[in-house]
Amino acid sequence: MNDLKEVVAKVEEEVKKRFDGEGTGHDWWHIDRVRRLSVNIAKEEGADLFVVELAALLHDVTDHKLFQGTPEEGRGLLLQIMAEAGCDDLVAEPVLGIVDGVSYKGAGVEDIPLPIEGQVVRDADRLDAMGAIGIARAFAFGGSRHRLLYDPTHPPVFHSSFAHYRQSQAPTINHFYEKLLLLKDRLQTPTAQKMALHRHQFMEQFLNEFYAEWEGER
């Protein structure tokens, strides 16, 4: 396998090329934030930094919201990116497992068990869906899908299957109850759990302000 820094740099270059300018809140800067969060958490939790960084860089390449191919095509694409960067199979296989288990699939759907490296990347990805950045990303994604901000007649739904969750076209405010406010209690690493507290509180404050303004109280 090539020098680890060289492998990371080549994967970064390819991913940045694919996501630069993407407008749904899943752009290159989201991936870079998740990468930096992942590395910081990994250092605290004793995870393999190389596997964590590669998985963080690749975690959205085949995400269901962005990738139109089959799971087999997605796996092939990830393997191709890693192989062209000089990554061997001993690292590629764990990275594939992490990428497959990162995505949130509905309030009623249990997370796939992951090793510590996967827990780190999944927690980092979820932290970036919380707080001020999480709020901004939620509305960016909703706007890209032509969703309403809020509809009081359309209550949140706690999806019991990935298919149901994936098909949702609900207003963006519903997404807070269907996913964002649930993330704090689904984080697995102690480091991420501590980081999540302020972000979670900020989202609650935002919703209180939103409803007050919606009702004309402020």
DSSP annotation of 218 reads -
First to last CA, the chain: 60
The two three-digit tokens of residue 16, written as one number:
């940045």
Domain ranges of the chain: 4-214
Q: What is the pLDDT of residue 218?
A: 76
Q: How many Å apart are CA 99 and CA 125, to the nearest integer?
A: 11
CATH of 4-214, one of 3.40.47.10, 1.10.3720.10, 3.50.50.60, 1.10.3210.50: 1.10.3210.50
pLDDT at 1: 60
pTM of the model: 0.94
Q: Which residues contact 174 (CB under 8 A, 6 or more apart)?
A: 154, 155, 156, 157, 168
Angle (CA) 160 123 121, round 5°: 110
By three-state DSSP, how is residue 114 classified?
coil
pLDDT tens by residue, the chain, 218 residues: 668 899 999 999 999 999 988 888 999 999 999 999 999 999 999 999 999 999 999 999 998 888 878 889 999 999 999 999 999 888 999 999 999 999 999 999 999 999 999 999 999 999 999 999 999 999 999 999 999 999 999 999 998 898 888 888 999 999 999 999 999 999 999 999 999 999 999 999 999 999 999 999 97
Sign of CA dihedral 132, 133, 134, 138: positive
Task: Judge residue 188's burial from the number of C-beta atoms within 10 Å of its C-beta, 0-12 exposed, 13-18 middle, 19 or more buried.
Answer: middle
Which pLDDT does position 2 carry in this prediction? 61
Instruction: Please tell me the predicted confidence (pLDDT) of residue 70.
Output: 87
